[in-house]
Amino acid sequence: QSVLTQPPSASGTPGQRVTISCSGSSSNIGSNYVYWYQQLPGTAPKLLIYRNNQRPSGVPDRFSGSKSGTSASLAISGLRSEDEADYCCAAWDDSLSGWVFGGGTKLTVL
Amino acid sequence: EVQLLESGGGLVQPGGSLRLSCATSGFTFSSYAMSWVRQAPGKGLEWVSAISGSGGSTYYADSVRGRFTISRDNSKNTLYLQMNSLRAEDTAVYYCAKDQLYFFDSSGYFAYWGQGTLVTVSS
């Protein structure tokens, strides 16, 4: 059971906009930054969004992040087939003094 | 280019031990905290342990505290995880991850990850 809650799956057609939610609590998302990772099958996580809404160099601006209260969202616009992957949110947890993650959302491009 | 390469995974019986290594290059190893994060088959990521840049401070998840020991050799640019009293629930791919800061705290995050090494605990 992951500390952060994500829907297990999401889907969309090419060109569509999809959003993936991440729900936490006051000790993690409510008081700290949220991070998003993309994980292709059999590969290491890749940082997609840091500090709620910042994109590392090389990440397309089709990917965007937002946070409100104890929840966060990842939005992917102009969906492409190569976006099919698992997406995971993360945040520091003040109560645990460590990182907590969501269970991951498997995105399918129909 | 930052590179992280884990090794040492394998099949081990319950109660056994294993030592993981993470060889690094492309950055000043001693200037950054490092962590181990694991992913059980079909499950989400779980932070396991962290160590400050000097190695003087270590941190553990409750699930492994007292059984796992994290360490680093800054002269060899290598991170380690000694795993003792292994249980079936420790079965996972173990990733090493580079922090953005010297200290392990809420200001950092993981921008770089290794490819992982699989640990299977089974009789």
Task: Give me the count of residues in chain B.
Answer: 123
Over residues A68-78, the mean pLDDT reads 97
Distance from CA of B116 to the nearest CA of A (A): 7
List the single residue in B with minimal CA-CA distance to A105. Answer: B44
Over residues A11-17, the mean pLDDT reads 97
Query: Which chain A residues are closer than 8 Å to B35 by Cβ?
Result: 99
Among B35, B36, B45, B113, the strongest candidate for a mutation testing the A interface, having the largest count of A CBs within 10 A, is B45
Residue A42: phi and psi, rounded to 5, are 75, 15
Between A33, A44, A101, which is nearest B116 by CB? A44
Contacts of B28 (CB under 8 A, 6+ apart): none
pLDDT tens over chain B, length 123 residues: 999 999 999 999 999 999 999 999 999 999 999 999 999 999 999 999 999 999 999 999 999 999 999 999 999 999 999 999 999 999 999 999 999 998 888 888 999 999 999 999 999
Give bridge partners of residue A67 from the DSSP assignment: A72
Return the beta strands (E) in B8-91 as ranges: 10-12, 18-25, 34-39, 45-51, 58-60, 68-73, 78-83
Q: CA A26, CA A71: separation in Å to the nearest integer?
A: 10
Residue A100 pLDDT exceeds 90: yes
Over residues A15-38, the mean pLDDT reads 97
Q: For residues B74 and B30, is the Cβ–Cβ distance under 8 A?
A: yes
Contact check, Cβ <8 Å, B43/A47: no
Contact check, Cβ <8 Å, A51/B109: yes
Query: Which chain B residues are closer than 8 Å to A90 by Cβ?
Result: 45, 109-110
Q: Does A97 contact chain B (CB < 8 Å)?
A: yes
Distance from CA of A22 to the nearest CA of B (A): 13
Query: Which chain B residues are closer than 8 Å to A43 by Cβ?
Result: 115
| A 20-49 residues inside an 8 A Cβ radius of B | 32-33, 35, 37, 43-47
